[in-house]
Amino acid sequence: MSMLRWVTYLGPGLLTVQIPDDFELHARPAVLIARVVQHHGTPVELDIDGRACLPGSIIDLLIHFHSAGHARQLVFRGPDSTLRDLCALFEHDLGERGLSAMPPELDFLRRLGDGGEHEA
């Protein structure tokens, strides 16, 4: 499964992602999304099916993933450099194939580890 098909728009200050029906947002994606945002240290906003969320907070992401139920659309707003890295994260399956499958621009995620990395 490739998430490249998930990214529906990447433009100045905006990243829109459609989540396929066969994927559930859970703890691993929440941790990695938060780490990307924290790494950049810049303000990013996330809208999950119409609900505002702080994507730099793992707890906030998990609460919103759970309360949004089967959320299908994520809209990120923020600096382009952060959005490019978030886009790369989605394009590489949100870490579901292990951190070793991440591209070089996301090396900082590998250095941090994920507390239970699995290899494909």
Q: Which residues contact 2 (CB under 8 A, 6 or more apart)?
A: 91, 93
Domain ranges, residue 9: 3-112
Structure tokens at 1: 């499964």
Query: What pTM does this model have?
Result: 0.84
95 in any annotated domain: yes
Tens digit of pLDDT per residue, the chain (120 long)? 444 456 777 778 999 998 877 787 889 899 999 999 999 999 999 998 788 999 999 999 999 888 876 778 899 999 999 999 999 999 888 888 888 888 999 999 987 654 444 333
Task: For residues 111 and 71, give the distance between their C-alpha atoms in angstroms, rounded to a whole number.
Answer: 30
Residue-level pLDDT at 5: 57
**Residue 67 within a domain:** yes
Residue 52 lies in a domain: yes
Within a domain: 97: yes
Does a structural domain hold residue 119? no
Residue positions counted in the chain: 120
Residue 110: predicted pLDDT: 84
The predicted structure's pLDDT at residue 120: 31
Residue 38 lies in a domain: yes
Give all strands of the β-sheet with 51-53 in edge-to-edge order.
7-11, 14-18, 73-77, 45-48, 51-53
Within a domain: residue 117?
A: no
Q: DSSP letter string over 53-116? A: E-TT-HHHHHHHHHHTSS--EEEEES-HHHHHHHHHHHHTGGGTT-GGGS-GGGHHHHHH--SS
- Residue 63 sits in a domain whose CATH number is 3.30.1340.10
Give CA angle at 7 (112, 119), nearest 5°.
35
- Is 32 inside a domain boundary? yes
Instruction: Decide: 9 and 15 in contact? Cβ < 8 Å.
Output: yes
Count of structural domains within the chain? 1
